[in-house]
Structure 1
């Protein structure tokens, strides 16, 4: 294979993925991505920095590097000789370059590994450089980006190299405690001690197509336990299917993706939205807080409208009301439920985490989203995003629209009840504003798991209940045709929910339902969320938690009083 470099590039190169020839200049313009098969050729740290950071913004952090030979290690040659050869071949003092700069104008501190230097191995010097970079990010409260490319811990430094896993992990924990966003960009390959420390400890993990990541490499697995490996094992796509990375992003999309992440995760003050200025968005319909201001309609009609296929979904609303939305995937435990969507975004410039039940408008879309019924991985993904919001100190907004949690063998085997319970407990203690809006169906514990909030709102044709009307009718009347009667008895409609105090306010819908005018519904939703966040934002963490707990503590049998 001809190695493609940004300098002294041959006129023609041969792709390592498909062996097709590619014109050198085109290969460079395509950021070393094969135009035939999409294979991503490895980059040097300098090339990676030039590709990711804004032009002219990169500044070397200038940390001193002191690589020693603690063991006096010799294989076919002494370790110091190997170091000297690597330094001469790469022009680098060690296997990581540490810089500060901007991406899309957003400040970032970055540690970029280079596989050419002893396989990007994690030795004491590399661990020290990454730790110092993380400490600088913490001191300056600037997001940290790590770009990984490594075969694992450096064998020539023995247990001292092993300790770097703990040291860098400690630095990342301190970034968590400081509320500083961390992002990991996984490139090929990322194995061993790097994969089992900072590469997978970031708040957001994105990977290049085909990049391999794992603790034990394929050769070790095959030789140790004699197990054959499936096609695509440990590739970015394999990991994404199992919820272990947030996204697989082609190289051309890295800078824009990182820019949106850094923008959404930055603690910048929101611009004023007091209604002034010719570009100000008109206010939405005022929230209804008095049940008498809502018509006493037919409850079953609300059920029908809440379930309508053409009703806007959470993703429809997110795309209309937020900016810079970056969807994040996976529970980091082995699953990525399709019935939950969520990520970082901005609402009128203010950062937040937004999460919703995913549905669809066609039978195919509904089936792909498991009809909006989350599995345990969905609730764990939502919990992961809520913890990220708590770390960054940004609000959580949830859009609730589900028939209920997924009722299946696998869901039960994977701990459905425990996943819902954990979400309920987590939300009661989130130290940030939480606003939940029932936009369609609020089905049982599957809905409540995303609705333990400071402010709980509902669209005027939304429904919320302990059980579906059909389920209630089948159990109590043994007659599925009694579902309309069950809906009335359960009082699932918005007017009843407001009377009972289940919701704090109702968002009026356009005539005929939100599906008749999705734009107007989105405008009303955005205004409702914004008004709720404006009310909650001045409160400190302790007050937010206290008020949320008081809100849910008050639910009791009519006539009872809490002592």
Structure 2
């Protein structure tokens, strides 16, 4: 059987470059230019791309027109000026970038979109200037910046001036971050070279379209230089996400909804958090905390896999939550989850240790024992919250930091110490709650806060009682005795000043009535945020410093 392939005159059909399926063009357009057979995301023009990410009819192009000149009088097989004119005629664009203002989910943004059809989306002087102007406009208007990127890299025909656009755009993006204006970079296929190594990877949030190839040097260049076989999926969005370089990988039809949610959950609150209904549930007097459980029995309740996890609390407390991923260095640690969310109208950055309810999830999340990349992810999100003016809420539930050769080689101690020091510098309110087991520096790394709370049947300790017993007695059998000696329970820790308040739990623990327990925690967090809302950055840092400065029992001689 012979199949005739479409010709240039047969405009109703198109050959998918990924699977070689012959696709009916009207259907391809209806599907957002995603192959219905294999899911390959075809490249889009700037106009088509705008139609996929901004609200219909909302785009208003910038008034100025920026075009690259010919600073080198460059000629290869043809003069650069001829190539520019041909690209302008073919695309209808002045250069490889379109920018202006638009709305996404009804929220105003500054948006810039690259078009690969214009000289491979390469960055010359015009692209660098336009990106910089977009950053400056976003800063001037205090509007989020959305960049949609598709580029082969720097534009060779402009020589060193093209190279300088990397510095120009990088400093513009950093200035935007320093001033607390959200930037989101959407990386599409392909994103390479000097564009990737400058503004494209400097966004507060990095989102990649499914299947996009992203890197510095191209795969063929790398293979030729190293003479090595490249790993499967090398430089794909999914490959990079697995190595902590991206926050999200989304299908094309998921980009606009995700951007709309991001804009919504990161918008600074216009008023202080509202007080909850009725009195605060937080207990501040140890004498009010009575119970019949021994410390070790309390520990067993805290470890019960039926207890609500961090994600359970997050989704109960937040009307929306956008999980972000990766430490931008090594990987994404599923033992720590985090991202912006909204609690009763108050946008926050919420971060927590995540364990799980079943064996599969417990193993996948390493029982909540975080590796260095987890703490680096947490600190990255806290610093993003600081720039955007979002309070930080953390949920602590871990026996400690992950032990192991890999964790040590990747700098476990350095990651924890940087997390602690970074939290001390935040200029936004920080509220931490121990929801299960708070173990060692792995727990404290998320708990250097203005307000530290714990649930009634949670525990918090320098070491697990079993490990303490093993070190002191040679076996873990003295764990119950050590649990009592270490004073790991809420009444003792409240008496010592380690925690500021205790959130009551239902009889038998949060696992016996999760809805009630989660409601109490939400009320306690909102109450703490309301108490801290009147303090400025300097006051919050000072209060946090003095809170921990005053802890300890010692004698002066």
TM-score (norm 1): 0.95
- Is residue 2:39 matched to residue 1:38? yes
Partner of 1:65: 66
Q: Secondary structure at the match of 1:213?
A: coil
Judge conservation of contact 1:63–1:129 (CA < 8 Å) in 2. no
1:7-406 equivalences in 2 (<5 Å): 10-270=11-271, 273=274, 282=277, 286-296=281-291, 297-406=293-402
Judge conservation of contact 1:246–1:328 (CA < 8 Å) in 2. yes
Judge conservation of contact 2:350–2:394 (CA < 8 Å) in 1. yes
Judge conservation of contact 2:429–2:533 (CA < 8 Å) in 1. yes
Partner of 1:548: 544
**Counterpart among 436, 450, 453 of residue 457 in structure 1:** 453
Deviation digits for residues 110-166 of structure 1, max 9, x if unmatched? 110000000000000010011001100000010001111000000000000000000
How many Å separate the matches in 1 of 2:195 and 2:330? 19
Structure 2: 5+ residue runs without aligned partners? none
Q: Secondary structure at the match of 2:14?
A: strand
How many Å separate the matches in 1 of 2:49 and 2:269? 27
Segment of structure 1 superposing worse, 335-344 or 448-457: 335-344
Partner of 2:521: 525
User: How far off is 1:290 after superposition?
Assistant: 0.2
Q: Secondary structure at the match of 2:529?
A: helix
User: How far off is 1:2 after superposition?
Assistant: 7.0
Alignment CA distance shift 1:10-1:311 (3 Å): farther
How many Å separate the matches in 1 of 2:273 and 2:478? 51
Q: Secondary structure at the match of 2:148?
A: strand
Judge conservation of contact 2:274–2:526 (CA < 8 Å) in 1. no
User: How far off is 1:404 after superposition?
Assistant: 0.4
Q: Secondary structure at the match of 2:337?
A: strand
How many Å separate the matches in 1 of 2:275 and 2:163? 55
How many Å separate the matches in 2 of 1:2 and 1:273? 63
Alignment CA distance shift 1:2-1:134 (3 Å): farther
How many Å separate the matches in 2 of 1:9 and 1:60? 34
User: How far off is 1:78 after superposition?
Assistant: 0.1
Deviation digits for residues 496-526 of structure 1, max 9, x if unmatched? 1101110000000111111111111111111
Structure 1: 5+ residue runs without aligned partners? 276-281
Partner of 2:512: 516
User: How far off is 1:478 after superposition?
Assistant: 2.4
How many Å separate the matches in 2 of 1:525 and 1:149? 44
User: How far off is 1:274 after superposition?
Assistant: 5.0
Segment of structure 1 superposing worse, 482-491 or 550-559: 550-559
1:474-485 equivalences in 2 (<5 Å): 474-485=470-481
Alignment CA distance shift 1:306-1:90 (3 Å): same
How many Å separate the matches in 2 of 1:245 and 1:270? 32
What CA RMSD, in Å, does the superposition of the two structures yield over aligned residues?
1.8
Alignment CA distance shift 1:94-1:284 (3 Å): farther
Judge conservation of contact 1:271–1:349 (CA < 8 Å) in 2. no
Deviation digits for residues 88-117 of structure 1, max 9, x if unmatched? 000000000002111111111111000000
User: How far off is 1:64 after superposition?
Assistant: 2.4
Segment of structure 1 superposing worse, 357-366 or 55-64: 55-64
- Is residue 2:407 matched to residue 1:411? yes
Judge conservation of contact 2:145–2:183 (CA < 8 Å) in 1. yes
Judge conservation of contact 2:34–2:40 (CA < 8 Å) in 1. yes
Alignment CA distance shift 1:144-1:283 (3 Å): farther
How many Å separate the matches in 1 of 2:144 and 2:279? 35
User: How far off is 1:31 after superposition?
Assistant: 0.6
User: How far off is 1:267 after superposition?
Assistant: 2.2
Alignment CA distance shift 1:9-1:480 (3 Å): farther
Q: Secondary structure at the match of 1:492?
A: coil
Alignment CA distance shift 1:284-1:93 (3 Å): farther
TM-score (norm 2): 0.96
Alignment CA distance shift 1:85-1:545 (3 Å): same
How many Å separate the matches in 1 of 2:273 and 2:267? 17
Partner of 1:440: 436
Q: Secondary structure at the match of 2:126?
A: helix
How many Å separate the matches in 2 of 1:94 and 1:15? 27
Judge conservation of contact 1:284–1:528 (CA < 8 Å) in 2. no
